[in-house]
Amino acid sequence: MYACLKTSLVVATALISTSVLANAADQRPPVRSQLATIYDWTGFYAGGHVGGGWVDNGDGGFLGGGQVGFNYQVRQWVLGVEADVSAASGDLNWTSTVAARFGWAVDRWMIYGKVGGAWVNEDFLTRVGVSDRTSSGLLLGVGAEYAFRNNWSAKIEYNRMNVDRDVDAVKVGLNYRFGLNPLPGRW
């Protein structure tokens, strides 16, 4: 009888221990799947943009041009540099900027700020007629960008160029990122 009771006690202890271990295993934090990889913004890119620009007296016109840049992502932070040039209508002839970009990415969305240099060429009236001049100054900007395909993204941004006078610009653009496909097997 002791042997039967002892065997029953050992089997019951083993069953209870197995149940406790199984429950403890269920309490582990979930393991992240590699398929849930956050979109990687790292790489060289080039694109185009359109929009509008205006000077501090309210005169404005159309902007259109292109941009090139490079991003490097560390966790959710995206650091980069971008240069752009835009032809313009109205008092502005063209604008150009070179700026550092500092972004915060959440998967395929990125919000960013820009700071750098700006150059603006504009017409002005002289005693002998219309002439043009190029002014340089500081650029501050903010924007948002969305990667709608692996290598394609669309953006909207606002720039404030503090040259001889303030020039504001709002642009929408499209970028193509060169290099490795960040999420193989998709588009």
Residues 145-176: tens digit of each pLDDT = 999 998 999 999 999 999 988 999 999 999 99
Structure letter (DSSP) for residue 75: T
CB 118 within 8 A of CB 163: yes
Q: How many Cβ atoms sit within 10 Å of the Cβ of residue 155?
A: 19
Asked, for residue 185, whether it belongs to a domain, the answer is no
Tokens 């934090």 found at? 29
- Clarify whether residues 77 and 17 are in a common domain: no
In-domain check, residue 102:
yes
Q: Same structural domain for residues 52 and 140?
A: yes
Residue type, 140: L
Instruction: Label residue 63 exposed, middle or buried (CB < 10 Å: 0-12, 13-18, 19+).
Output: buried
pLDDT at 37: 55
Backbone φ/ψ region at 27: left (φ over 0), alpha (ψ -120 to 50), beta: alpha
What's the confidence (pLDDT) of residue 35? 45
Of 90, 47, 91, the closest CA to residue 65 belongs to 47
Per the model's pLDDT, the better-predicted residue between 45 and 150 turns out to be 45
Can you give the CATH number for the domain in which 149 is found?
A: 2.40.160.20
Judge whether residue 3 has pLDDT over 70. Answer: no
Are 43 and 21 in the same domain? no
Q: How far, in Å, CA of 94 to CA of 87, rounded?
A: 4
62 and 126, same domain (yes or no):
yes
Q: How far, in Å, CA of 156 to CA of 25, rounded?
A: 47
Q: Is residue 73 domain-shared with residue 11, that is, in the same domain? A: no
Residues 112 and 108: their CA atoms lie apart, in Å, by 13
Q: Are 109 and 135 in contact (CB under 8 A)?
A: no
The pLDDT of residue 29 is above 70 = no
Cβ–Cβ under 8 Å, residues 39 and 107 = yes
Best CA proximity match to 92, nearest among 41, 45, 137, 54: 54
83 and 12 share one domain: no
pLDDT in tens, 69-101: 999 999 999 999 999 999 999 888 999 999 999
Give the structural domain span for 123: 39-177
Mean pLDDT over all residues of the chain?
83
62 and 95 belong to one structural domain: yes
